[in-house]
Structure 1
Amino acid sequence: MNCLNTHSVRFLEKNHDEIDLFEIMHYVWTEKYLVLASTFIAVVIAFIYCMTAPKLYETSSILRPTAINDLDALNRSEVYKLPPIEALDKVGLRLQSYDARLNFFKSNPKLFEPFQKPGQSLEQGFDSFNREAIILDLPDPKKTENNKYIKLQMQYPEGVDGVSILNSFIDYALELEREEISADLKVIVDNRLSEVREKITAAKSNYETEKESRIALLLEKDTIKRAQLQDELQGLRLQMRVARENRISELGEAISIAKVMGIKRPTTPSSLSSSNQIMRTEVNNQTIPLYFMGTDALEAERTALKNRTSDDFANGRIAEISKDLKILNSNREVEILNQRKNEDIFLQNIDPLRAERSRLRSINTDMKNLNLVAIDRRAQEPLGPIKPRKALIMGMSIVMGLMLGVILALFRQTILNRRNTARLKVLEAPLTVNRDTVEK
């Protein structure tokens, strides 16, 4: 019995269904050197890991919506609308674009040499970088627009210039977005200018058509007027010629009558009558026949009429017609219309189109200085690596070492207790036999 551990015996005498916390603590304290050794080993292993594990650093940059006045010049162009929130979204999509990242990766081979492992293709090296290095953190869409932001994080191993990569990538994405906006703006402005030019060309074409139509109407009106005057002139001349021929015939009859009556000089009916009083009464009530003019006067008039080459002077209307025909030889309004040199000034309702053309031509499509977003924080050199987390690892190693030591201590005590229980059973057997013999 002396060789048995007293504490072990007391432990065995207790109910096995009960756990004595103080006894467990006592056993752990008994094996304190084992616990300390386990803890020391765990701390040493953690320390070696912290010293040999590759260091991983993290840097980040935050983008926020730019001020309204930064996009005012673009929005005031009235051809391209870009609110600050939409500009931030466009930049976010560009930063998230696989194609943009791949082109940036290809255009900066020196920055990405650590990501290019031997035997890997360019696309494989980029895929590793794109999947693990850059993380785009977007805000909760339920938040208000005033709290909207874009956070771009990059985790990189030691030896990689992650700050330069992240800042350069943001600048590269912004430059791509500016170039795209410039290209879109230029296309829109060119399309608007083409549309305005087509409207101006259509206005010019309409003006030319209207001018030609007006000239044609004026000339047609002059032609009709000229034809009417010429017809009237021909009719008057024909009328005057017929009247002259009739007068000649009438004079011929009068001359023959005058010859028969023996009237050579102009006379009156009263001079041929015996009763002057009766003849005067008849003369006053009747027209004097032409033959009373006498043959001399009648023949002289007939000769003059036959020798006449033109009857125009005999009618004042012919002179008026000649004047009108002379005026119609040249239409001054048509001449002025044909002599117009700068016809643009005569175009109607074209001033707004000219103003729009001038305004579109004055729009600056170079957006290289456009502030699409506000860089709230650029990437900076981190104060230390994020991995391995030495304090956390060392603290966990201590806890794990203590836990492992306690488990080993309890396991060792369990084994010892089982051995002591077996020895106790062996010693108790002779004592039972002796007690039975005494009783008998």
Structure 2
Amino acid sequence: MQRIPTTQTPLVLGSATTSRGCALDPSKTGLPPQAVLGGANGKGPGVSEVTHPCLSSPSGSGVSGLQECRPLSPGGFRMDLCHPDPGELSSGEAEELQQIKWHRKQLLEDIQKLKDEIADVFAQIDCFETAEESRMAQREKELCIGRKKFNMDPMKGIQYLIEHKLLTPDAQDIAQFLYKGEGLNKTAIGTYLGERDPINLQVLQAFVDCHEFANLNLVQALRQFLWSFRLPGEAQKIDRMMETFASRYCLCNPGVFQSTDTCYVLSFSIIMLNTSLHNPNVRDRPPFERFVSMNRGINGGSDLPEEQLRNLFDSIKSEPFSIPEDDGNDLTHTFFKPDREGWLLKLGGRVKTWKRRWFILTDSCLYYFEFTTDKEPRGIIPLENLSVQKVDDPKKPFCLELCNPSCRGQKIKACKTDGDGKVVEGKHESYRISASSAEERDQWIEAIR
């Protein structure tokens, strides 16, 4: 092995390469930082000898040559990595090197596969979220239509919700929907609960069972019950509802009354008392004594405690029942958050003329008004089964047309009010509407679709 002399004189070490092309690195060769390499024979003043396998050369000169010192930063130097010649490796080393390269290639391929799989998973998640958002938006739209149909015709509304799988035919499911009452007309709820069909009777029982009357006196329970819907006008329907209520109250409050009949009779008595005390058309206000007299012997032949009757009487006298308003014809909530609204020109009338109308699109229906302040629309166009498209008109630009592509020549199912305010069936086979610009027309078409 070639010996390389060193010096004790502090000099700067440059970059040198051995006969194998290996860069000299003081940290790897063991040379002290003050070492300096001499000329071609490695000699210099004050020389001591060190050995390093990387410095041996066939010629015995030790170092094949020195390169110029290239500092990276003060106190640091650029050192090239050692790249051995494959021809000088032993067969075992060469085989090991090939295995390392093969494993490296396999590892890089596996990493790329993992990256591709992760990218696929994220793409699937994005697609799923988009599809789920679209499905939820469609479901909410159908639910809004179902509520609207229920408020106009309770039986048809429930049928629509079941057909679109928004409700099941189960009485419990329907009852929960009515009990929550979101967006539902309370008069319509009372109408549905009052029907005598077997499913309606089951829903009535399940609806009453949704109420929790435990630890409430009878007036408190009646306030809760009568606020959840509006009692229908027919006596037989009211009778069924109050019987169901009385059974539920006694189940929640055992021992308060001797029988459900007592609760039933007293409930009617309280409702009558509420009317007598707070109806402005009733002049004769009944005193407490008359209320006691009205209810003598109703508790299985005996009287109810006077203190109990006093509490019920005072509660009704100080605060009447809150009865839900009959808002069956109120369309305010329908137009509260429309999909689109604005002024458009509509072609219509016996003598075809263009008239300016305020249009509102909501719940898959197109409503048009004479003025923005009108509470009632001049016409309603259900968009179910209708298509919309651009159309050229010789008299108006930027037109769109509504029609039923599968039933051309037939009247579109729609309604409007005539000059006397009566609701009549529409007579249009198609509706032609003109916007103020091509952009506005396209926006309406997109919203309707």
Indicate whether the TM-score tops 0.5: no
TM-score between both structures, scaled by the size of structure 1: 0.18
- Normalized per residue, which structure has more strand? 2
Between structure 1 and structure 2, the one with the greater Rg is 1
- Normalized per residue, which structure has more helix? 1
TM-score between both structures, scaled by the size of structure 2: 0.18
